[in-house]
Structure 1
Amino acid sequence: MRIFLAGATGVIGTRLLPLLVAAGHEVAGMTRSAAKADQVRAAGAVPVVCDVYDADALTAAVVDYGPDLVMHQLTDLPDDAARLAESADANSRIRTEGTRNLIAAAQAAGAKRFLAQSIAWEPAGGRGRVIQDHEAAVLDIGGVVMKYGQFYGPGTYYEGELPPHPRVHVDDAAARTIPLLEASSGVVIIADAA
């Protein structure tokens, strides 16, 4: 399967990319950082340097690759968890404008499948509506919403401790995503048993 992975150099994307390649898929890994293109190439994928907010460039990149499936693993989160509150608007923009642009690009390319990450808990503040709208947009096109628990493990906010439930080790989250490439449209919770 030809897969366009948006968010290939993020916390889960870096784990998904080699799993997808090892499973025999042809993968284009999108990153907005030219400095990370070599990381994508080293994982065995075609690097695509593109900003999800540049709708024309994004559509051109996805159409050019011609994927069977587009996977949305984009977030806009800070490296420091203490800065989460101040970055909430940026992450909400990924879930609104970013999702809209990626869906439009996938449709323009004729991709038959669309998978997108979401969260398995109720977000703080007024961001719940953003999450609901994001998930509804994915389901409206027959996509799959992957609602991940809070990640823990290397490179996450919880490297040495467990977050509250729902939670999932980031490596387990990536491994549990692979079978969903063929899943029927709907919502899937990816979390440890409570």
Structure 2
Amino acid sequence: MRIFLAGATGVIGVRLVPLLIEAGHEVAGMTRSARKADEISAAGATPVVCDVYDPAALSTAVVGFRPDLVMHQLTDLPDDLARLPESGAANSRIRTEGTRNLLDAAAAAGAKRFLAQSIAWEPPAGRGAEIATHESAVLEAGGVVLKYGQFYGPGTYYESTPPSPPRVRIDHAATATVALLEAPSGVVVVVDEPR
């Protein structure tokens, strides 16, 4: 399968690229940072440097790759957990405008499948409408919404101490995502199994 992965250098994207390549898929990994293109190449994917907020360039990139599936793993979150509250508006923009642009590009490319990241916990006050808009747009397009628990493990905000549920170990989230590439349209919750 040809997969266009938006967010290929994010916390889950860096795990997805090698898993998808190992499973035999051809992957284009999108990043907005030119300095991260080499990481994508080294992992075996085709790097695409593009900004999700540039609809014309995004459409050209997606159409040019001719994907069977477009995967939305984009977020706009700070590296420092303490700065998370101030990033709400930027992340909401990814969920609304970014999602709309990716869906439009996927449709222009004739992609048959669309998977998008969302959250399995109650959003912070004032952010619920953006999450609902994001999820509704994906479902209306016949896509799959992956509602992840809070990520924990190496490279996440919770490297050594897991957060409260719902949560999911980052490596498990990536493996589960690869297993869901052909899931039917709908909402899938990806969290740790209760112990």
Query: Amino acid of the residue matched to residue 50 of structure 1?
Result: C
Percent identity, aligned pairs only, is 74
CA deviation string 1:93-145 (max 9, x = no partner): 00000000000000000000000000000111110111011000000010000
**Ranges of 4+ aligned residues in structure 1 off by more than 6 Å:** none
Q: Is 2:157 aligned against 1:176?
A: no
2:146 alignment counterpart: 146
CA distance in 2, matches of 1:82, 1:117: 22
1:123 alignment counterpart: 123
CA distance in 2, matches of 1:162, 1:9: 22
CA distance in 2, matches of 1:97, 1:21: 29
Task: Give unpaired runs (5+ residues) of structure 1.
Answer: none
1:47 alignment counterpart: 47
1:99 alignment counterpart: 99
CA deviation string 1:14-70 (max 9, x = no partner): 000000000000000000000000000000000000000000000000000000000
1:4 alignment counterpart: 4
2:32 alignment counterpart: 32
CA deviation string 1:137-176 (max 9, x = no partner): 0000100000000000001000010100000000000000
CA distance in 2, matches of 1:98, 1:8: 15
CA distance in 2, matches of 1:125, 1:134: 16
Q: Is 2:64 aligned against 1:64?
A: yes
Q: For residue 117 of structure 2, give the secondary structure of its aligned residue in structure 1.
A: strand
2:20 alignment counterpart: 20
Q: CA deviation at 1:193?
A: 2.5
Q: Is 2:71 aligned against 1:78?
A: no
CA distance in 1, matches of 2:129, 2:120: 14
Task: Give unpaired runs (5+ residues) of structure 2.
Answer: none
Q: For residue 182 of structure 1, give the secondary structure of its aligned residue in structure 2.
A: coil
CA distance in 2, matches of 1:79, 1:190: 23
How many matched pairs?
Answer: 194
CA distance in 2, matches of 1:22, 1:141: 28
CA distance in 2, matches of 1:188, 1:83: 29
CA deviation string 1:171-191 (max 9, x = no partner): 000000011111000000000
Normalised TM-score (structure 1) = 0.99
CA distance in 2, matches of 1:14, 1:127: 26
CA distance in 1, matches of 2:17, 2:193: 25
Normalised TM-score (structure 2) = 0.99
Task: State the superposition RMSD in angstroms.
Answer: 0.5
